[in-house]
Amino acid sequence: MKTSVILTGSSQGIGNALKNEFLKDENYQVLGLARSVQSKSERFDTKQIDLSEFEKVHGFRFPDYEGSERIVLVNNAGKIDPIARMGHLSAEAIQENISINLTAPAILINAFLKAYENHPAEKVIINISSGAAFRTIDAWSVYCATKAGLEMLGDAVQDEQEYLGANTRVLNISPGVVATSMQETIRGADGSEFKDLEKFKSLHEEGILKNPEKVALQIKNLIESDQRGKVRLDG
C-alpha cells in the first residue's frame, strides 16, 4: 500500500530507526521533522523545525500526498528533562517540555486531520507514549503528565473519528525502555533529585534496554495491521 509518513524526531533514537525501517519498503515515503540537519534521499524529505516553537509548529503545512493510500503521522519527538522534583524546576523548562511532548502533537494532529479530511487514504496517527503515562516516576512529573495527556488526546481523537465514521486509526504506543540518547540523559541525571537513578543504570549495565531497530519493526507492523488504541510493546 502506497504509504506517506510524517515523522517527528526522525534524526535519532526510535525516530531514526523508524525512518530506516520505513525506507526499506519501496511503498513508503517519509517526511522527517527535527531540529538537526538530515540528508535527503529519493523517498526521504526533511524539514528542520523546533517543535517547542509554537509559531513554527502552527506554520507547518502537510504535503498533498495525492495518490497515497495510507497517510501516517508519527508523533515521536520527545523530551524527558527536566529530571528533578517539583519545586526545583525552571518555568522555562516546564514550558518547553510540555510544548514538545503535548502541545506540538495536538497542533499536528489537528492540522493533519484538517489537511486530509477529504483525502481517500486511510489515516493513521501514532503517538509514542510511555509507561510513565500510567504510573508516577520520581523527578519525571512533567514528562509523566505530558505522556498521560498524550494518551488521553489520542483516545479522544479516536472516539471523535469513529463518531464521524472516518477511516482513521489512532495508536498510543509505549515502546518499553529503549537504548537511545534519552536513556543516556536519564543515566546522567542528578541522583539527589532522582531516586531511581541506580535502577536505570542497572538496566543499561545488564543489557536489558531494547534496541530501537526492533521497536521500529514492531511499530511498522502495527501501522500495517488494523490495530488501534493502547499498545505496550513487549520484549
Ligand X SMILES: NC(=O)c1ccc[n+]([C@@H]2O[C@H](COP(=O)([O-])OP(=O)(O)OC[C@H]3O[C@@H](n4cnc5c(N)ncnc54)[C@H](OP(=O)(O)O)[C@@H]3O)[C@@H](O)[C@H]2O)c1
Give the helix/strand (H/E) hosting 208: none
* Cα–Cα distance measured from residue 100 to residue 202, given in angstroms and rounded to the nearest whole number: 28
* Residue whose CB is less far from ligand X, 101 or 158: 101
**β-sheet bridge partners, residue 145:** none
DSSP secondary structure code for residue 211 in this structure: P
- Contact residue for ligand X among 181, 202, 221, 225 (CB under 6 A): 181
35 near ligand X, judged by CB under 6 A: yes
- Nearest alpha carbon to residue 233 among 218, 221, 213, 220: 218
**Cα torsion for 181, 184, 188, 194, to the nearest 10°?**
100
141 near ligand X, judged by CB under 6 A: no
182 near ligand X, judged by CB under 6 A: yes
Candidates 23-31, 63-71, 174-182, 223-231; binding stretch for ligand X (CB under 6 A): 174-182
Cβ-contact 197, 88 below 8 angstroms: no
100 near ligand X, judged by CB under 6 A: yes
Q: Hey, which residues between 42 and 81 contact ligand X (CB under 6 A)?
A: 49-52, 76-79
* Residue whose CB is less far from ligand X, 52 or 158: 52
All three cell numbers of 120: 481517500
- Contact residue for ligand X among 14, 71, 222, 231 (CB under 6 A): 14
13 near ligand X, judged by CB under 6 A: yes
Cβ-contact 176, 169 below 8 angstroms: no
Give least dist CB 113 to ligand X, A: 20
* Residue whose CB is less far from ligand X, 2 or 200: 200
Give least dist CB 25 to ligand X, A: 20
- Nearest alpha carbon to residue 119 among 193, 187, 75, 66: 66
Interface with ligand X by CB under 6 A: which residues?
9, 11-15, 34-36, 49-52, 76-79, 100, 128, 130, 175, 177-178, 180-183
